[in-house]
Structure 1
Amino acid sequence: MHTKKRPASSLLSGGLVCWPSLSLRQPPRVLIVEALPPWWSETCAVLCEALDNVLSLACSLDGPCRIPLLSLYAISRQQECLLPFVQVRGNLARLRSCVEELRSIPGDGCIRGPARGGELLRQAVLDSLQQFKQYTRHTSTGSQASNNTSVEVTVVTSQPGRGIIHQLEAGLRDADLVSLRRLLLVQITNAADMGSDTPSPQDPCTDSEECLMLGTEVELQQVDNSVVAMETVFKAWLHEQGGDREHLHLLLPSNSENSSPVCVKCDMQERLLSPALFSLTPSVGVKTESIQDFLPSTKTSANHSTPPQRLKAIKALRADGVCESVLYGLPLVIRPTTCWQLDWDEIETNHNLFHALCHTLRSRDLFLLVRLEPAQSSAAGASGVYSYYVLQPSPSLSLLLKPVVSRELLLPCSLPVSNQDPPPDAIHTVQSCLGQLDEDVVFNPLTLSSQLHQHLKRRGLLSQPQYPYRLQQTAHREAQPQEGPKNSRQSRQSQHQGRQMGTGKVRATVAPLPSSSLGPPPCKVSRPALTFLNSRTPAPTLLLCSPVGPQEEGNNDNNNDELMMIL
């Protein structure tokens, strides 16, 4: 493939990189399965089960769609498109029927030549690219497919991978591969004795430089013939596939006085699928955000008939062999019970057993792997799904309970382990940065302040409603006698003047002073200040008095009432 046929940069658009698994950044997927005898009889059950499991996860996940589109091809006696491009979410029944159709392909028959198989693979790749172009051309403007301009193709085979790569490179050299984002060749290694994985003398490509023309586009991955290994391949589709921008910047203190902080640019990767994303199976992992989340349902808690949860120890783990990345949720502290309904002898015996368990685990540097057992009332649990936890001993008389991920929720994570030391200049820079930080022997979270109290206070004051005073005002108006037409008109005029003078400020109408028969009341009257709900600087108070003349006193018995506005 010539470099001029490839875009200079990724054509996927998507503004700033946020959290992983944004649907607009996930490319459509094409899966091409080489179901040739005799290897297909050994790999069929494994591959179909793994594909069925991963598709059931992808269809059931809440949140952004991780596999927007999927197409499936099978290469047996001929090339066959078992599944045109369809949306994965909401199509579990159709996807499973396609997997069953793939499973029904016979695994016995004559062995085709490698050249014929390579030709069929080339045709399947080109047909999938043409199908993707037609799909994006006829799809609506706002669909997920129109936001993805390139597709990723995964080829699963049991033949020697390097020979298949050479055949694909030779067959796709002059093809238009602008819409091909990535081509991954997955070789199932132990399906049969294939001999050494080296190209045969009859391979059409013998020059090493020409054979590596597609080296940056075609990737080879060798896996075992097991369900777990194939699930790892397909679960890689659930990872964030962006890469046009780094995810976060880690700032270290500057290693000199006048320089800016040292910035280490990083990417993020999910290690597991959160159980909260599966709304249909809440028991896949009991939440530990609070004690009530972990305890069983409290529908019958009034008569205390609900039995306590049961954790069954199934394995002892070496503490240094447990990776923190497979633990999720909030930890809960487990301590010996002090239930008053138990006898003193039983409480003491239980306390001694708990103490002995903590001491033994700490002295042997062990963790305890436990499984949440179903309730005694049900034979196998309501949903048949188990959740697992790890118990960690602490120096105090307690254990720490942490949820641990299971195989279904674990995402692939193959991080390289470097056996070489970093360059000396990089070590010197980092050591100089870290040397400026304070070092604590024991971490004390009480020294950390997140300013949460101040934020909650500000938010509470800003969102404080004003309706309590308005309710008082409405109650006072209901207690007042009905005004005549003339007096109502004057009141509305006074209120209109008050609104014009105090636009945008807090206003309130107070009760009028008692009427007096000796004449109009004085304009300056001492009244207690109103206390508002907002704790702000009190605004200046202005008392507006409407003088009442003798000619107006006979119109109404309460004509000497004036309207006082507080601005």
Structure 2
Amino acid sequence: MSGRNRSCASASQVCRASSFARQPPRVLIVDVSPPWWSETNSVLCEALDNFLSLASSLDGPSRVPLLSLYAVNAQQECLLPFVQVKGNLVRLHSCVVELRSLPVEGCVRPRPDVLRQAVLDSLLQYKHYTRHTAPGTAPSSGAVEVTVLSSQPGRAVLRQLEQGLKDSDLVGLRRLVVVHIAVEQNLPEQELSLEQCSSEGVAEPEEDLMLGAEMDLQQVENSVVDVENVLKAWLHDQAGEKEHLQLCLPAPAQTPVCIKCDLQERLVSPALLPGTPDLGAKTESIRDFQPHSKSSSNQSPAPQRLRVIKALKAEGVCQSVLYGLPLLIRPTTCWQIDWDEMERNQQTFHALCHTLRTRDLFLLVRCDPQFGSGCNVSSYYVLQASASLSLLLTPVLTRELMLPCHLPVSNEDPPLTTLTLVESCLDQLEEDPVFNPLCLGSNLYPHLRMRGLLSRPYGSNSRSQGRGQRRDTNHPPEGSTSRQLQQRRARATVAPLPSVPPPKPARPPLTLSRPCPRAPSLRLIDGDDDDDDENAACS
């Protein structure tokens, strides 16, 4: 299969057809008022440009169906009406260029109600968009999510919006998020503080104002990574009407124990990015790992070079940042290498595996693109030493593909009653010291047989074809005798003489000065007589 077809196949496995069906349209309101815009201009525009380049290039269902962008200063300005994000990078990039060109200096003070007017105008704009759009093309989620990026103190901005929107019609507003980009300013002491400047004229109510839409306040640092994470949160599945899965535990006393859970992606799969085979998303075989060479067909491609750039503590590597199918790396047995060189190579490989296992280390390696490949994207892998004489090569994600993940860490013990219930459920499970995948059956063979039988032609054509084959076998063709037919069959069964000299005999296996420990057997050992039949079947 070609790389493009395989990418599409992998994308269909990563994203289900029903996923991301409830993604809301997005409105981004950027506060470009001085003096803070001079500090956040380059950071915000770079983060927005990076995010739009990624979101518009993803295959599969659209995760950000529509986007509109406003710039707010002394007045509001719609830089981008609602447009589709997927496949529309040219239009989105021109909007970022226009945002970057806005003046960074000035003494114009923003009006208190300009943010309110931008929010209401975006809701009205989306209403007009859905009214003039063909049925079925608008997002299934009929509510808009508005995000305000500002360097003014977030609480003052949030109170300002609460006061201004409390009497407005917010039926089309799903969620309002105020993101405070923290900027360090060295203002003169005689000037008012940022909190006083932003909150002047805004009355602090005694209690929170309850709006029909959800309101949220976030604070991030003035860095490209932090602003990117705010935008990349849009790529998560926003459907929250039902839990994603149910984890069922064995009932301790005929009481069902079912834990409802949600799924969240840790990374954007490189399989969803077309035209980037060097990212390391496909590691099913050695052909997927080696890049295509432009050399002639009679020459073998040059070997790929992995450059070790860092040693990692094994306990410090999170499994959620690893993806794809791993590959096994072992010492080469190429017959064109000199015998002494091969022996030294195998001893060095053995010493590397032994050292990594002894020190409990992983290796971070980088796969640089080959010269003339036309792609300057580098991929990274983690090398892990196994008990046998081999290394495990696993792709690791980079910053561009990482999605925000903020999971709480609890330092308190769970309630005693709940802890007792879960422990009693787990006590009913059988423990295996060694995992044996030979005892796992997925019903794959019957499924493949059923698909194969259903795909075969059934009817008169297949029966006539079978009869025709039997008739040709029993009766020789017209004009040929039985003797000629036997001679033809005899000539067909004679193997042709080899046209090239026979290959060199295989070398005897190498012996190391120190024997390698044997890998643990996958055979399960159970002393119970009741499980003898089951273990025999699994073997």
Asked if 1:120 is matched to 2:114, the reply is yes
| Residues 105 and 191 (structure 1), Cα distance of their counterparts in 2 relative to 1, 3 Å cut | farther
Match of 2:203 among 202, 205, 222: 205
| Residues 184 and 388 (structure 1), Cα distance of their counterparts in 2 relative to 1, 3 Å cut | same
Asked if 1:393 is matched to 2:385, the reply is yes
1:441: which partner in 2?
A: 433
Of residues 284-293 and 271-280 in structure 1, the stretch that sits farther from structure 2 once superposed is 284-293
Asked if 1:184 is matched to 2:197, the reply is no
1:308: which partner in 2?
A: 303
Asked if 1:129 is matched to 2:123, the reply is yes
1:340: which partner in 2?
A: 335
Question: Equivalent residue of 1:265, what SS?
Answer: strand
What letter matches 1:25 in structure 2? R
Per-residue deviation, residues 193-213 of structure 1 (Å, max 9, x unmatched) = 69686998745332331x343
2:507: which partner in 1?
A: none
- Distance in 1 separating the partners of 2:314 and 2:96: 41
- Distance in 2 separating the partners of 1:477 and 1:455: 34
Alpha-carbon offset, residue 139 of structure 1: 1.2
Asked if 1:290 is matched to 2:285, the reply is yes
What letter matches 1:86 in structure 2? V
Which structure 2 residues correspond to residues 536-547 of structure 1 after superposition, within 5 A?
Answer: none
2:154: which partner in 1?
A: 161
Which structure 2 residues correspond to residues 57-206 of structure 1 after superposition, within 5 A?
Answer: 57-112=54-109, 116=111, 118-145=112-139, 147-192=140-185, 202=200, 204-206=202-204
Which structure 2 residues correspond to residues 429-508 of structure 1 after superposition, within 5 A?
Answer: 429-466=421-458, 467-473=461-467
Of residues 299-308 and 382-391 in structure 1, the stretch that sits farther from structure 2 once superposed is 299-308
Aligned-residue CA RMSD in angstroms?
A: 2.5
| Residues 429 and 76 (structure 1), Cα distance of their counterparts in 2 relative to 1, 3 Å cut | same
1:12: which partner in 2?
A: none
Percent of counterpart pairs with the same letter? 62
- Distance in 2 separating the partners of 1:82 and 1:174: 27
- Distance in 2 separating the partners of 1:349 and 1:293: 29
1:494: which partner in 2?
A: none
Alpha-carbon offset, residue 283 of structure 1: 1.9
| Residues 157 and 292 (structure 1), Cα distance of their counterparts in 2 relative to 1, 3 Å cut | same
| Conserved 8 A contact 1:21-1:65 | no
1:522: which partner in 2?
A: none
What letter matches 2:347 in structure 1? N
Asked if 1:229 is matched to 2:226, the reply is yes
| Conserved 8 A contact 1:334-1:401 | yes
- Distance in 1 separating the partners of 2:261 and 2:197: 38
Per-residue deviation, residues 115-171 of structure 1 (Å, max 9, x unmatched) = x2x3111110111111111111121111134x2210000000001000111111000
1:43: which partner in 2?
A: 40
2:347: which partner in 1?
A: 352
| Conserved 8 A contact 2:278-2:291 | no
Gaps (5+ residues) in structure 1?
A: 1-17, 479-567
1:415: which partner in 2?
A: 407
Asked if 1:22 is matched to 2:50, the reply is no
| Conserved 8 A contact 2:67-2:82 | yes
Question: Normalising by the residue count of structure 1, what TM-score does the alignment of the two structures yield?
Answer: 0.75
Per-residue deviation, residues 389-425 of structure 1 (Å, max 9, x unmatched) = 0001112211100000111111111111112111111
- Distance in 1 separating the partners of 2:198 and 2:29: 24
- Distance in 1 separating the partners of 2:92 and 2:468: 63
Alpha-carbon offset, residue 61 of structure 1: 0.6
- Distance in 1 separating the partners of 2:128 and 2:429: 58
- Distance in 2 separating the partners of 1:20 and 1:239: 15
2:518: which partner in 1?
A: none
Match of 2:312 among 291, 310, 317: 317
- Distance in 2 separating the partners of 1:196 and 1:421: 42
| Residues 364 and 20 (structure 1), Cα distance of their counterparts in 2 relative to 1, 3 Å cut | farther
- Distance in 1 separating the partners of 2:158 and 2:89: 32
1:254: which partner in 2?
A: 251
| Conserved 8 A contact 1:166-1:203 | no
Per-residue deviation, residues 444-471 of structure 1 (Å, max 9, x unmatched) = 2122121222322333334333445312
- Distance in 2 separating the partners of 1:225 and 1:52: 16
Alpha-carbon offset, residue 264 of structure 1: 0.6
Per-residue deviation, residues 81-109 of structure 1 (Å, max 9, x unmatched) = 11111111222111111111100111101
1:529: which partner in 2?
A: none
- Distance in 2 separating the partners of 1:279 and 1:33: 31
Alpha-carbon offset, residue 286 of structure 1: 4.9
Q: What is the number of equivalent residue pairs in this alignment?
A: 452
| Residues 462 and 93 (structure 1), Cα distance of their counterparts in 2 relative to 1, 3 Å cut | closer
What letter matches 2:354 in structure 1? H
Question: Equivalent residue of 1:208, what SS?
Answer: coil
| Conserved 8 A contact 2:152-2:194 | no
| Conserved 8 A contact 1:163-1:199 | no
- Distance in 1 separating the partners of 2:52 and 2:297: 43
| Conserved 8 A contact 2:25-2:143 | yes
Gaps (5+ residues) in structure 2?
A: 1-14, 188-192, 473-539
What letter matches 1:208 in structure 2? E
Alpha-carbon offset, residue 232 of structure 1: 0.5
| Residues 348 and 446 (structure 1), Cα distance of their counterparts in 2 relative to 1, 3 Å cut | same
| Residues 119 and 346 (structure 1), Cα distance of their counterparts in 2 relative to 1, 3 Å cut | same
- Distance in 2 separating the partners of 1:107 and 1:171: 27
2:477: which partner in 1?
A: none
Question: Equivalent residue of 1:395, what SS?
Answer: coil
